[in-house]
Structure 1
């Protein structure tokens, strides 16, 4: 995976209390829509590239089965390991990084398992993201 770190921009360190899940923008848009319908949307970052990648910031991860992890790998979904650094959008990097959904003060992050479930549900509805 390419590094998303830009040393001129503020960074977020992944780990308790914030996890990060990355995916292609097309899949991300579907997942974001599904989360919004369930009133579970949260902060989402977009990074230019081929393809563009979206990163969902979530509450801490929970344990999951190997079958779920295999589904995520098959779909090209990245689970950022603890300690990963994610560059946040700022005036110095707006040409490569932007907020799809900005964080809202006082609003909790969506549950990690809700984002994972939305990825799996979306992929079962539309096989176009495979």
Structure 2
């Protein structure tokens, strides 16, 4: 299976939508490999178990926009998706803006998230 930009872009949109609906832990708990990690913009590193246990209770995003997607092949069954994200919680706090990198690998015929990293664009 070859990973495509359209396929991974859809997964990323679905992930952000899950964060807006308070079900990010469930979504990412199913999508991530057992050894996957997320590196957040503040430097926090979270494993799959922590993500699955905590994201369903995290504050929800009110809206988001994703753009500038680029697919970088990393192997015959893996690829990285790099894109910009902007998200807002609908409060007076500053909107979140970062460049994201999501690395996927095909496992049992399906794309699975192995590494996710946020890099701030506001500093």
TM bucket normalised to smaller = under 0.3
Q: TM-score if structure 2 supplies the norm length?
A: 0.25
Q: Which one has a larger percent strand, Structure 1 or Structure 2?
A: 2
Tell me the TM-score normalized by structure 1.
0.24
**Bigger relative contact order (CA 8 A; separation at least 6):** 1
